[in-house]
Structure 1
């Protein structure tokens, strides 16, 4: 059984620089591989396999030495896996067509192994020990760790864990309670209990609208527009 845990992490300035380089390398390789897949399909009508894309990495690292210096090698391998999965999801009508990635949106990289927790820190290849707010402990084997940076500048670690424990069996004994979800009330049970809808978004919608209007008036490319973008995020 697999389970995911998401933790807030607090990298130092030097670690943020290292992560920014890793984000940039993986983003560049994703865009390069996606463009190559599209051009190959236009000319031959065929796609490219994950193995073929991963086989390009040794030559690319010789041509672009920063691919070898600035990012953990297995993070690039995962990029080819994710692109292959994105194409498969598109053709099976589970997702939209893969898109090119921008440096202005959410950034992420994935580590398939060699990640471990040491107390209140998470140890990452080429990054080192990063302080982590581990509000929930877990049991099992770490399968994948995905680091992400949101547009508001906050960093998170999503940990996929394989737990050897079997899921609990469903029981047909005891009393069942029906739950009806609604808009006026968040939930109403068959026993008559009501739970109010907190409407968190509505409470802040006016403030969000005001910040979005200010953001639209900022000059594109300016520092003030970037500050405004963070506030909206």
Structure 2
């Protein structure tokens, strides 16, 4: 009752911790369920109340830099929808399924819209809806924390692509699926965790880099390919690439300045390609292979 009289967010400097009890000045003692132990003595605490009526205590503590030996010097990450991340090592990171919770949320949203404002039943539905949304957000946050922590701990340089998420949400067919992934949050987490670990770096390449249009093995550029095409056969070297895997390798090379079309490299050092790729790709497949026999 004392906490309900306060605003949804307030900061307290007068507090004390005794085991699983948190004592706030002028409010009394409260039982706390710890998500993890505090690394050092806290200087202040912020009490937050969410829309579901739950209270959380956020403590400000000082922590030092972490020393962890990386397993790899660098890695490229291609973010997607069906597969959350395709790594340049060939590994896939699958995102948790939100479909069941999403259907349930939409059902309660329709129910809430039909109920009378100010009624007790509407308030009960609102709380259930808030808890469903909170559960989805917690699942996403837990997944993103684990994924970004593993990326930063295992790799010295993590290369990501600068995605125009706001523009991509204009596609009404993919807007819901894109917003559920949390690409922007993943980038923010990577950058924040890289600053906490010694000798870590997050590089962001331009969104205009043709990562899906270049062979990661030979550098041959085949041009734009429809999104429905998931596997590409390079007519120059004959290597068959997974679309996302090839893009992840090119993202890594572009971030390190090793790719031919990368803006990180100087114009004088770009590799020139002979022949006409457009004319070559317009020929029948059997004739293309015959040119490289």
Q: What is the TM-score normalised by the length of structure 1?
A: 0.50
**1:191 aligned onto 2:89:** yes
* Aligned: 1:213 with 2:113: no
More helix by share: 1
Establish whether residue 159 from structure 1 lines up as the match of residue 59 from structure 2. yes
Identify which of 132, 137, 140 aligns with 2:40.
140
The equivalent position to 1:149 in structure 2, one of 23, 31, 49, is: 49
Equivalent residue number for residue 101 of structure 2: 204
CA-atom RMSD in angstroms = 2.2
1:5-35 per-position Cα deviation (integer Å, ceiling 9, x unaligned): xxxxxxxxxxxx1112233xxxxxxxxxxxx
Residues 204/192 of structure 1: CA separation in 2 closer, same or farther (3 Å cut): same
- 2:119 maps to 1:222: yes
Report the CA distance shift for 1:211/1:130 in structure 2 as closer, same or farther (over 3 A): same
Distance in 2 between residues matched to 1:172 and 1:134, nearest whole Å: 30
Match among 71, 74, 82 for residue 176 of structure 1: 74
Runs of 4+ in 1 over 4 A off after TM superposition: 169-174
Q: Structure 1 residues 227 and 169 mapped into 2: Cα distance closer, same or farther (>3 Å)?
A: same
Answer with 1 or 2: which has the greater Rg: 2
Which of these residues, 8, 18, 22, is aligned with residue 2 of structure 2?
Answer: 18
Q: How far apart, in 1, do the equivalents of 2:32 and 2:126 lie?
A: 26
Question: TM-score by structure 2 length?
Answer: 0.41
Q: How many equivalent residue pairs?
A: 130
Q: Matched residues in 2 for 1:214 and 1:172: separation?
A: 50
Deviation of the 1:172 alpha carbon: 8.7
Separation of aligned partners in 2, 1:176 and 1:232 = 42
Q: Deviations over 1:141-189 (max 9, x none)?
A: 42331112222121111112123x3x24697995323222221211222
C-alpha displacement of 1:205:
1.3
For residues 155 and 134 of structure 1, what CA distance do their matches in structure 2 show? Answer: 12
The answer for the alignment partner of 1:125 in structure 2 is 25
